[in-house]
Amino acid sequence: MDKNRVDDYDAGPVVLPKVDRFGFLKQENNSPDGLTISISAFEHERDERRIRKWRKMIGVGGSDWKHYVRRKPHVVKRRIRKGIPDCLRGLVWQLISGSRDLLLMNPGVYEQLVIYETSASELDIIRDISRTFPSHVFFQQRHGPGQRSLYNVLKAYSVYDRDVGYVQGMGFVAGLLLLYMSEEDAFWLLVALLKGAVHAPMEGMYLVGLPLVQQYLFQFNNLVKVHLPKLGEHFAQEMINPSMYASQWFITVFSYSFPFHLALRIWDVFLYEGVVIVFKVGLALLKYCHDDLVKLPFEKLIHALRNFPEAAMNPDMLLPMAFPIKVSKSLEELKEEYEKQNGKLSDHIKQKLHSS
End position of a domain, from candidates 96, 117, 137: 96
> What is the average per-residue pLDDT within 250-260?
93
Counting the structural domains of the chain, the total is 3
Predicted confidence at residue 13, as pLDDT, reads 53
CATH code of 112's domain: 1.10.8.270
163 and 273 assigned to the same domain: no
Report the predicted TM-score, pTM, of the whole model to 2 decimal places. 0.88
Residue 283 falls within a domain, yes or no?
Answer: yes
Does residue 270 share a domain with residue 343?
Answer: yes
Q: What are the pLDDT digits (tens) for 217-254?
A: 999 999 999 999 999 999 999 999 999 999 999 999 99
* Structural domain range at position 58: 37-96
Task: Say if residue 190 is in the same domain as residue 224.
Answer: no
Segment 96-119, tens digit of pLDDT: 999 999 999 999 999 999 998 899
Confidence at 356, pLDDT banded by 50, 70, 90: very low
Name the pLDDT band for 121 (thresholds 50, 70, 90): very high
- Domain ends where: 165, 199, 233? 199
Looking at 62, 96, 130, the residue that finishes a domain is 96
pLDDT bracket for residue 10 (50, 70, 90) = very low
Q: How far apart are CA 242 and CA 214, in angstroms?
A: 10
Same domain (yes/no): 170, 243 = no
pLDDT in tens, 57-68: 999 988 899 999
Residue 7, in any domain of the structure? no
Is residue 28 included in any domain, yes or no? no
Average pLDDT, the chain: 88
Q: For 202-212, how does the pLDDT look when each residue is reduced to its tens digit (9 = 90+)?
A: 999 999 999 99
Kindly state whether residues 222 and 341 are assigned to the same domain: yes
Both 255 and 322 in one domain: the answer is yes
Same domain, 250 and 129: no
Position 121 in a domain: yes
- Statement to judge: residues 136 and 220 lie in one domain: no
Assess whether 53 and 116 both reside in one domain.
no
Predicted confidence (pLDDT) per residue in 25-81, tens digit = 876 554 444 334 445 777 778 889 999 999 999 999 888 999 999 999 999 999 999
Q: Are 220 and 246 in contact (CB under 8 A)?
A: yes
Band of pLDDT at residue 349, cut at 50, 70 and 90? very low
Are 315 and 284 within one domain? Answer: yes
- How confident is the model over 289-344, as pLDDT tens digits? 999 999 999 999 999 999 999 999 999 999 999 999 999 999 999 999 999 998 76
CATH code, 257: 1.10.472.80
